[in-house]
Amino acid sequence: MTTDTTPQTQTQTAKTAPAPAALLYAIIGGSLLTIVSAFLAWTWTADFPGDLTFYGSPADLQYITLAGAALTLVHALSALGVKGFGWLTPAGSRKAIWFLALGNAAATWFTVIAITVVLGGVINLEPGAYVALVGSLVPALAAYKLPDDSRKVTPAKSTLPNWAEILIITGVFALGLFVITFGIDTDDKEPQLFVAYLITVGLAALALNKSGLLARFSVLTANNRQVTLLGTAAAAIAFPFIQQSGDTYTLIAVNILIFATVALGLNIVVGLAGLLDLGYVAFLGVGAYAAALVSGSTASAFGIHLPFWAAVIVGAIVSLVFGVVIGAPTLRLRGDYLAIVTLGFGEIFRIAMGNLDGTSGPDVTNGPNGIPNIPHLEIFGWNFGESHTVAGIELGAYANYYFLMLLVMALVVLVFARAGNSRIGRAWVAIREDETAAEAMGINGFKVKLIAFALGATLAGLAGTVQAHVNTTVVPENYVFAGPVPPNSAFLLAAVILGGMGTIRGPILGAALLFLIPAKLAFLQDYQLLAFGIALILLMRFRPEGLIANKRAQLEFHDDTADQAPKDLATAKAGA
């Protein structure tokens, strides 16, 4: 049977298939229509959170739609070859436009559906909502039909002058700070706003990665490491100064930093050494309880008040001792057996803290009531429990702990980076990949694993000392294996896996997402674990190496050489 390839058939096919230019014009037109819709009213009543009733003055939800449409528009102009936009898509435009258009359509349709559900029917929609629905749907459908134009981009040295590179890095960090602050500052009474924000930002980040723009930016940051570090520090320090709602969201940022710091410590144990620890949150509790007992709490059984630096040392040393005591007899186990033993240790710690109440055991921890009334820190006369005015801006009490946790985070990052690149770090990686082969090469597996376990416990205890003063109370229920409120062992492990094992930025990103999302979507608390499980399944299916993967994991999970081997072998046999 032969295929008809006559010129008449080819001409008909060419006429019926849409040209890429036509698809791009459809994307541009739909994006412009969506931008216009943001300046129209989407509903007639202010009962819907956010007040989408104004003409010419977009609300926050409409600004999200506006931003998504604008990004889709400029990427479509890049694909069309308009001068000045080509740098946006060095790795191809099709996937980038598709993810941007999909994110914009999903966020817009979610908002409109939420309006009809909350207000009780489509009768509450104004013309702007219908314009937004059509305008966002057209680019998504057209982008899906775009031909694949992906191409491999080899990172090359930037040809821009040094001042231009620094200006770009500064602008990107300023934009990133604005985007992060916008997400954290979303009102808890407007969960629809945070969901739309999450959809748009998530798919936009994926689109920028697919377009190759992030790879180009990484070249600029690699050429200007000192500027990048200074920019990161400046953006982090500036966060409390741009808060408009006082300490409400600064406290969320403090808890994210605590969670991320503990996740980095766990990353040493799991990501570098490959030890599955399911009771790691207990070391956070050890540091918190140790600091609470020596920090002058009225409920402390010791009745002593050490300065903060001494309390930090006590918490870190006690956690180190517990890490060695628990690790010495258990680290001779491997795999599932080690995981079960560490899980048991975590539960033993929680139960023991609840029983040391003077009735079931010695009166040390006040039992289930915990240790309350932990006084705020005071360093060089600076009381962390009071507001202070800096550069004419009043900073709340939690801003003090925010800056303190930035220092702790910097210390933990430095320890992780130095340890990972050291001789012991390479030994951890060797143990993780194949313990038997590593021991055959002369590595003392037990000693190396014990060092990782002890170091991870010390870093968790360090974060625990700050957490005790931030919360001003310590109770056993804060240190469980799994629960609705992080940090707990399950969420810590998930943060490492979600972000990317063995990296620095990965666990920080994973911890931020896993803390911020439940805090902002409290109305879904009953379905939190269900959504959490679905997210992990999708992650393992589509990106098993994590959101920010190291090169070793990326090659391991996405190596195409195995797919080529059978074909080459068959070709070789056929040729022979």
Distance, in Å, from the CA atom of 7 to the CA atom of 469, rounded to the nearest integer, reads 79
In the chain, domain spans: 18-235, 278-404+437-542
Q: In the prediction, which pLDDT does 505 show?
A: 86
Q: Is 393 helix (H, G, I), strand (E, B) or coil?
A: strand
**Torsion on CA atoms 104, 19, 214, 84, rounded to nearest 10:** -100
Model pLDDT for residues 258-276, shown as the tens digit of each residue:
988 999 888 888 888 888 8
- Distance, first Cα to last Cα, the chain: 31
Residue 497: pLDDT over 70: yes
Model pLDDT for residues 132-180, shown as the tens digit of each residue:
999 999 999 999 988 887 777 666 666 777 888 888 888 888 898 888 8
Residues 6 or more apart in contact with residue 256 via CB below 8 angstroms? 511, 512, 515, 516
Q: In the prediction, which pLDDT does 563 show?
A: 43
Q: In the prediction, which pLDDT does 238 show?
A: 85
Model pLDDT for residues 170-209, shown as the tens digit of each residue:
888 889 888 888 888 887 778 888 889 999 998 999 898 8
Model pLDDT for residues 1-14, shown as the tens digit of each residue:
444 444 443 434 33
25, with CB counted inside 10 A (0-12, 13-18, 19+), is: middle
Per-residue confidence band for 576, with pLDDT thresholds at 50, 70 and 90 = very low
Q: In the prediction, which pLDDT does 40 show?
A: 92
Q: Is 485 helix (H, G, I), strand (E, B) or coil?
A: coil
19, with CB counted inside 10 A (0-12, 13-18, 19+), is: exposed
Mean pLDDT, residues 335-355: 86
Mean pLDDT, residues 358-383: 80
Length of the chain: 576
Q: What letter represents residue 517's amino acid? A: I
